[in-house]
Amino acid sequence: MKPDHNHVPHAEESLPDVLVRVVTELHDVARLIERIEPQLMSAEAASAERVMVLQGIDLAVQKTRGLAEFLDTITASIPDTCLVDVTTAVNLIKLGDMKRALGTGVLQHGHSHPLTKTSGDFEAF
């Protein structure tokens, strides 16, 4: 049987450490969303629908960053002695990079994939 490299072993760890990883992922999501905005802009006049889409993207970035700041702030008040087991939660995540970032304790700042990749490179989902 082939080993499951995405499986995270059972281990209790500090809740603040876990939340810091979630905050990092939320900031990464906000960066991904922001990188879409320039791709939607064009030299031609903006239509009402395009403006609404761009406003929606901006709102998504603001909400994502707001959630990250909220979690970051409350994390500061949680004692390191508060332990949680994230095994089940992490094993439910489908994206490998996110699973590793949340489950291993190794922070991966800015690990988002670039929007422009070499021809033939893609991540199936």
Where do the structural domains in the chain lie, given as residue ranges?
A: 12-103
Task: Give CB contacts under 8 A, 24+ apart, made by 25-28.
Answer: 25/98, 25/101, 25/102, 26/64, 26/65, 26/67, 26/68, 26/71, 27/64, 27/65, 27/68, 28/109, 28/110, 28/111, 28/112
Q: What is the pLDDT of residue 116?
A: 52
Q: What is the pLDDT of residue 75?
A: 95
Predicted confidence pLDDT, tens digits, the chain (125 residues): 444 555 545 578 899 999 999 999 999 999 999 888 777 766 455 677 778 888 899 999 999 999 999 999 999 999 999 999 999 999 999 988 888 888 876 655 555 555 454 444 444 44
Q: What is the pLDDT of residue 81?
A: 94
Q: What is the pLDDT of residue 61?
A: 94
Q: What is the pLDDT of residue 122?
A: 46
